[in-house]
Chain A
Amino acid sequence: MTDNVIETQDLTVYYGKHRGIVDVNLTVEKGKVFGFLGPNGAGKTTTQRVLVDVLPPSWGKASVFGLDCQTQGVELRKRIGYLPGELALYPNMKASDFFKMYEYLRGSNGAPGYWRELAKRLDLDTSRKIRQFSRGNKQKVGVVAAFMSRAELLILDEPTGGLDPLVQRTVLDMVREAKADGRTVFFSSHILSEVQAVCDRVGIIREGRLVATQRVEELFAQRMNRMTLIFDAPPPPDSFALPGVTELGRGRQSVELEVRDNLPRVLAAAAEHNVMDIETHNVGLEEIFLAYYSVENGGDDA
C-alpha cells in the first residue's frame, strides 16, 4: 500500500504545439509539504490544473489518493482544497456570502463556519464586497476558501502572492499547522525562502520538465562555495577543469570558481600554481536554484 497522496507518471500536457509540461514524474507523500518551484511559465500551474482535473493530460497519468485525476475527479476533489494561481472571484458578492456559498456547494467537511476563524486570523473584513478588495485581500479570500474545508490535500498555487509579509507568515503558519494535522500540502512558489521555511521536499520544474526532486536539507547540503584564487602568475586555462567545479571568470592573475565538489583537488591544483591568496564565500539557496533554472549551463548539474 503506497503512502503517496500524489503520483504522476510521464505527465505531459501540450497546448497545441506549445509545451505545458513534459514527462513529469513526481510523488508526494502523505502528511508532507511538497514545494513545487519554478519560474513563471515553467509548468507549475499546468501541473496543478491536471491534479484537480481542470486540464486533461496529453499523455501520462496523474493520481491523487490513488484516484485517477481524469476519471475520478469528483471523488478526489472532495478531498482537495485548491487555491488557483490566477484567482478570479465574484466581484459583486460580499466575502462572507462567497464563503457561505462555497461551503454550501462543497460541504464543510465537519467544520461549518470555519471560514470565519480563518478570515479573522488573516484580518479579512468579510462584510465588504469582493470588488472593493485590494489584490492582497482577494488573495486572502482564496486562501480562506482553500483551507476552510479542512481538506486532506491542499493544492496551493503561489498562496502568498500579493500578501504583506505579516500575512505571508500567517499563511505559512497555516501550512505548517495543516502538516501537523497530518494533511498534505502541494505548494507551488517561486519564492525560495518560504519553500525553505515550510517544505519537506522540493521539486524544481524548468521549461515544463521536472529537473530535480530533493529533500530541502539535501538541497542545503549542496551549498556551493564561490572561490577567488589569486596567483603570482596566470595559471594554464584547464587547471581547474574538474568535476563539480565551474570556472566563472578569469582575471590577469586570478581565477573565480564555483565549487560544488572536489574542494581538496581544487586546493591541490591551486597549490601547484603558486597561489598567493584565496577568498571564499558560501553561495545561498537562491543561487543553487538559479543553477537549476539556468539554461546556459544545462541546469541539471547542480
Chain B
Amino acid sequence: MLRLLIQELRFRRNAIIGWGLGLCFFPIVYLGIYPQVAEEMAGLADLEIYQAMGVSLGTLEDWIGSILLLFVPLLIGVYAIINGTGTLAGEEEDGRLEMVVTLPLPRWKIVAAKALALSASIFMILLIVSLMSAAVFVAIEDQLETGLKAMQLTSALLGTWPLPFAVGMISLFLAAFCSRRRIASLVAAVLVVISYFGSNLAGTTTALEPLEPTFLFTYVDYTASGVSQGQQGGDVLVLLVVGLVAFVLALIFFQRRKLTVGAWPWQRAKMGAGSIQ
C-alpha cells in the first residue's frame, strides 16, 4: 500500500504546489496590508453583516481568524471536493480506475492509499500557506502591536486541517456512493455551503440553533481565540470522527461497487444474486 500511497502523492504533486502557492495569496495580501488598514478595521468590529457571516475584524487576531482561518480551510475544502470525488468516481468515469483495480491489491488498500494521499496533500497545502503566513507575519511584525507569535499563527492554521480533511473524506465517500462524479461533487459542494452559512446564521438566528451541531463549520473556531489558543480539542475530535466515519463508509461502498458500471448502490444491489427475473 505504501507504494500506491507514494504514487498517489506523486499524482498530486502539481496540485499541492499549485493550490499551496495559489492560497498564499491570502497571507501575502490580507496579512501584508493589515498594518495599513488596522485602524479602519477596528471601526468595523460591530457590523451586523460581518457578525452574520461569522466574521469579526476588530483586532489582528480577529482579522487573521476571519480571513485566514476561515477562508483558507474553506478553499482547501474545494480542493478536497475536487480531488476527493475525482479520485474514485472521476477515475472510474474516465476509465483509469480499471487499470488500478486490476493490480494485485485489495480494494480497501486502494481506497486507503487514496484517502491517505488526499489527507496528506491537504496538510501539505495547509503547511505551505502556514509557512507563508508566518513569513509575512515576521516581515510586518515590527509594525504591529500584538502578542501573537509566528509559531502560534502557523499552528493555528495547521489546526484547521480537520475541516478540509472531513470534507475530503465525505467527498471520497460520495464518490464511492454516487453513480457519477458530478453528482458527488455537487452534493459535497452543497453540504459545504450549507454548513458554512448554516453555522454562521445559527449564531444569529435562534431558529437554526438546534441544527448548529450538524454544521461542520461549527467545529472550527475562527475567532481571535482560535488564532491565539488554537482549536478546541473536542471540535477537532468531532471533525476527525466525521472524517473517519466517511472514510469507513467509502471503504464499504467501494468494496461493493461494480466498477465501470457507475450505478447507484440500490442498482448495484439489484445486479446481485437472485435479482434477475
Contacts and interface: CB of A to CB of B under 8 A. Distances in A.
Interface of A: 12-16, 49, 52-56, 58-59, 73-75, 77-78, 80, 82, 84, 86-90, 101-102, 104-107, 145
Given A16-B263, A87-B95, A88-B94, A58 B102 contact: no
A106 B104 contact: yes
A183 B206 CA distance: 72
B252 to A, nearest CB: 15
A102 B102 CA distance: 11
A10 B274 CA distance: 13
A75 to B, nearest CB: 8
A58 B271 contact: yes
B99 A13 contact: no
B190 interface: no
Interface residues of B, number: 28
Given A59-B273, A74-B105, 20 more contacts: A14-B276, A15-B261, A16-B267, A49-B98, A49-B259, A52-B102, A55-B258, A55-B261, A56-B271, A58-B271, A73-B106, A84-B98, A84-B99, A84-B102, A88-B94, A88-B98, A89-B99, A101-B7, A104-B3, A106-B103
B274 A59 contact: yes
B270 A56 contact: no
A80 B260 CA distance: 19
Looking at B11, B260, B261, B271, the one whose CB has the most chain A CB atoms below 10 A away is: B271
A105 B102 contact: no
B146 interface: no
B98 A86 contact: yes
B101 interface: yes
Nearest to B10: A101
A77 B94 CA distance: 22
A41 to B, nearest CB: 14
A234 to B, nearest CB: 49
A13 B271 contact: yes
A271 to B, nearest CB: 53
Contacts of B267: 16
Given A54-B102, A104-B3, A49 B273 contact: no
A80 B98 CA distance: 14
A78 B104 contact: yes
Contacts of A80: 102
B144 to A, nearest CB: 43
Contacts of A77: 102-104
Contacts of B149: none
Contacts of B260: 49, 54-55, 86
A58 B273 contact: yes
**Chain A, interface SS category:** mixed
A58 B106 CA distance: 21
A58 B3 contact: no
Interface of B: 3-4, 7, 11, 94-96, 98-99, 101-106, 258-261, 263, 267, 270-276
Contacts of B96: 88-90
Query: Which one of B99, B102, B259 has the greatest number of beta carbons of chain A within 10 Å?
Result: B102
18 contacts: A12-B276, A14-B271, A16-B271, A49-B98, A54-B101, A54-B260, A55-B258, A55-B260, A77-B102, A77-B103, A77-B104, A82-B102, A84-B95, A84-B98, A86-B98, A89-B96, A105-B7, A105-B103
Contact of A74 (B98, B106, B271): B106
A74 B241 CA distance: 30
Contacts of A73: 106
Nearest to B96: A88
B276 to A, nearest CB: 5
A112 to B, nearest CB: 15
A14 B261 CA distance: 11
A55 B260 CA distance: 8
Contacts of B271: 13-16, 56, 58
Q: Of B7, B11, B98, B272, which is in contact with the most chain A CB atoms at under 10 Å from its CB?
A: B98
Q: Which of B259, B267, B276 has the most CB of A within 10 A?
A: B276
Contact of A16 (B3, B105, B259, B270): B270
Contacts of B272: 56, 58
Nearest to A97: B10
A149 B96 CA distance: 19
Contacts of A84: 95, 98-99, 102
A295 B7 CA distance: 48
A75 B104 CA distance: 7
Contacts of B98: 49, 54, 84, 86, 88
Contacts of A102: 99
A58 B276 contact: yes
Contacts of A87: 95, 99
A52 B94 CA distance: 19
Nearest to B270: A16
A54 B106 CA distance: 11
Nearest to B273: A59
Q: Top 7 A-B pairs ranked by shortest CB distance?
A: A88-B95, A78-B104, A77-B104, A88-B96, A82-B102, A52-B102, A59-B273
A15 B179 CA distance: 13
Interface centre among B99, B101, B106, B261 (most CB of A within 10 A): B99
Contacts of A16: 263, 267, 270-271
Contacts of B275: 14, 58
